[in-house]
Amino acid sequence: MSAKRIDGLDAIRGICAIAVVAMHSRFLTQVDPAPSAYLMVDIFFAMSGYVMAMVYGERLRGGGYFLAFIERRWARLLPMWAIGLAIGCLAALVFHHRWPALLSPIFSFLTGLVFVPVPVAPDLFPYNSPGWSLFYEAVANVAFALSAPALSRKALAGVVSIAAIALVFLVFHFGSAGGGRTWVEAPMGLARVGFSFSVGLLFYQERARLAAIRIGPLAFWMAMGVIGLVAAANPHGQARMLFDLGFILVGCPLVLFVGVRGSVGATRLARLLGDISYPLYATHFALMLAIFSIHGALVHWRTNVIPLPIGVALVGVLIGLAWLLAGFVDGPVEERLRRSLGRTRRHFNGPASPLPSDDVSNG
């Protein structure tokens, strides 16, 4: 694990992950405390773009590191994703499928290990739904790695502009920006990651111009409160479309700016939030599916609404489990997998200089 981390991004990542879990808790309690938390994904995309440029940009521009970069990213994302995917597919096998439908979760698990979505289902990843955003982030990572040697400010500005225009059209077409999970919504997913990831790359290229600006701890945590308010907002109709566009096109870059230039003043808390963010995001939906299935079986599917206090407690349990996974599984398994892949690559290609860790963002 690298000691080089950006505390502001760590804190934002954890807060956004918790907001997404709160939104998905509606499947258990029928109460949605964060109906707009799907916009947190756009923040994830923007932070990822910034971090990828910071950690890998120089090496990728030099050429010859594409395969090693893909190897490193796969090792980073796989351990927690595989756990979540296995839980979701197992719950589907035990509670929801009979032969020949049993093949669906098995096939989904096998393709999911390499982040390939299921081509015959409405959802890209039906048994661990947040995988859709990991898939589009992987697409963005590959595009960045391939284009890094020629990726100028002008080219990035062009991508941002085209993606912004596409977003406006798609949001008014679908009625909101909350798309990307299904194949029908694939254009929305591509537009969202195209805009926000490219904004992150552009921010990194322009970092020297922003270096003189500092944001104090009070302003930083006030901004975190605003993120919470955004997640809890619930506009409807045209207001929803304008709200989503305003946040993605303006709010999301501002959040990235606050994360990069902000002083947290609580490093341990920020790093704790960063540590739990990816394990929580990658496993929570599948665990909720398992809880939903077990509860439904216990009550013979007469009703499957979990009382709100129990739902809140379960969210706390999921956060605690993410902390355990971060400390005892995520990092150690990633490191072991990365070393194994590195030995395999050196066996076929000869020795190569090691890639740096990308753990500045914990994901």
pLDDT digits (tens, 9 = 90+) for 184-215: 999 999 999 999 999 999 999 998 888 888 99
315, pLDDT greater than 80: yes
Cα dihedral across residues 52, 69, 186, 101: positive or negative: negative
Confidence grade of residue 361 (pLDDT, cut at 50, 70, 90): very low
182, β-bridge pairs: 123
Q: Specify the pLDDT at position 150.
A: 86
Distance CA(305)–CA(295), nearest Å, equals: 9
Distance CA(145)–CA(74), nearest Å, equals: 14
249, pLDDT greater than 50: yes
Distance CA(79)–CA(82), nearest Å, equals: 5
| Residue 304 CB burial class (10 angstroms; 0-12, 13-18, ≥19) | middle
Task: Identify which has the larger pLDDT, 149 or 23.
Answer: 23
Q: Half-sphere exposure of residue 55, counting CA atoms within 13 Å on the CB side? A: 25
The helix/strand/coil state of 215 is: strand
262, β-bridge pairs: 215
Q: Which residues contact 147 (CB under 8 A, 6 or more apart)?
A: 155
Which has the closest alpha carbon to 353: 78, 148, 69? 69
Which has the closest alpha carbon to 248: 162, 167, 161, 140? 167
CB atoms within 10 A of CB 219: 12
Distance CA(136)–CA(132), nearest Å, equals: 6
> What angle, rounded to 10 degrees, do the helices at 66-95 and 131-147 form?
170
Could you tell me what percent of the chain has a pLDDT over 90? 73
Q: Count Cβ neighbours within 10 Å for each residue of 172-199 and write b for 16 or more, e otherwise.
A: eebebbbbbbbeebbbbbbbbbbbbbbb
Peptide bond into 35 cis (omega under 30): no
Q: Specify the pLDDT at position 353.
A: 47
Q: Do 218 and 264 touch, CB atoms closer than 8 A?
A: no
Q: Specify the pLDDT at position 304.
A: 72
Averaged confidence pLDDT in the chain? 90
Q: Do 231 and 23 touch, CB atoms closer than 8 A?
A: yes
Q: Specify the pLDDT at position 100.
A: 54
55, pLDDT greater than 90: yes
Distance CA(221)–CA(233), nearest Å, equals: 19
Distance CA(363)–CA(355), nearest Å, equals: 16
Q: Do 251 and 230 touch, CB atoms closer than 8 A?
A: yes
The token pair at 66 is 């594409």
Instruction: Specify which of 119-123, 150-154, 301-305 reaches the highest per-range mean pLDDT.
Output: 150-154
352, pLDDT greater than 90: no
The token pair at 319 is 């956060």
Distance CA(127)–CA(85), nearest Å, equals: 7
> What angle, rounded to 10 degrees, do the helices at 186-205 and 131-147 form?
50
Which has the closest alpha carbon to 24: 35, 9, 16, 15? 35
Find the distance separating the first CA and the last CA of the chain, reported in whole Å.
12
Q: Specify the pLDDT at position 210.
A: 85
Predicted TM-score (pTM) of the model is: 0.92
User: How many residues make up the chain in this entry?
Assistant: 363
